[in-house]
Structure 1
Amino acid sequence: MNLDEFYRASGTLNPKLTILIAAGKHFLPVNELTIDKDSLLLGKTSQSHGEFATITLDQFMARTRQLPITTDLRTSNNHQLVFGFRIVNKSIVFY
Structure 2
Amino acid sequence: MDEFFRASSTLNPKLTILIAEGKHFLPVNELLIDKDSLLLGKTSPSHGGFATITLDQFMTRTRQLSLKTDLRTLNDHQLVFGFRIVNKSIVFY
CA distance in 2, matches of 1:83, 1:51: 26
Residue 37, structure 1, aligned to residue 38, structure 2: no
The unaligned stretches of length 5 or more in structure 1 are none
Pairwise mapping of residues 13-24 of structure 1 onto structure 2 (< 5 A)? 13-24=11-22
- Runs of 4+ with >6 A deviation: none
SS in 2 for 1:30: strand
Q: Which amino acid aligns with 2:38?
A: L
Q: Distance in 1 between matches of 2:84 and 2:17?
A: 10
User: Structure 2, unaligned stretches of length 5 or more?
Assistant: none
Give the CA RMSD over aligned residues.
1.5
Deviation at 1:51, TM superposition (A): 4.4
Paired position in structure 1 for 2:52? 54
8 Å contact from structure 1 (residues 84, 94) kept in 2 = yes
Cα distance in 1 for residues equivalent to 2:27 and 2:49? 10
Pick one of 6, 12, 34 that aligns with 1:8.
6
Distance 2:89 2:12 in 1: 10
CA distance in 1, matches of 2:5, 2:64: 13
Aligned AA for 1:33?
L
Q: Offset of 1:52 from its aligned partner?
A: 1.6
For 1:22 and 1:65, the matched residues in 2 are separated by 24
Counterparts of 2:61 and 2:74, CA distance in 1: 17
